Structure 1
């Protein structure tokens, strides 16, 4: 399925897993205009490679088309 194929791309924080309460929340917050600490607060998974607002925003920007 599409989501199975896109699973690695949906791992927003880079912790090796795509989860709704971390990666999904990060994406939703980003799409609603959150940035900085308000983007990542309480939404980064344990062992995440992308654990700053800057790295999370850059990762999402690479994958989401600009307006």
Structure 2
């Protein structure tokens, strides 16, 4: 399950098994459960994004130097 604000960690990993248990239809529904993330149908906003590396299956999928 995603880490909540009072529990601090250097990384948050959401596994396929955790996603299956969430009974969600869209990835945005999963991401919106993570504190500091706001996901919509076409975009994701991350508080402090310049310090964040987003990875999917071990590959980076964001540009931390861009706020978009």
> Do the two structures share a fold, i.e. TM-score over 0.5?
no
- TM-score of the two chains, using structure 1 as the length reference: 0.26
- TM-score of the two chains, using structure 2 as the length reference: 0.25
| Higher radius of gyration, 1 or 2 | 2
Greater RCO (Cα-Cα under 8 Å, separation 6 or more):
1
Q: Which has the higher helix share?
A: 1
Q: Which has the higher strand share?
A: 2
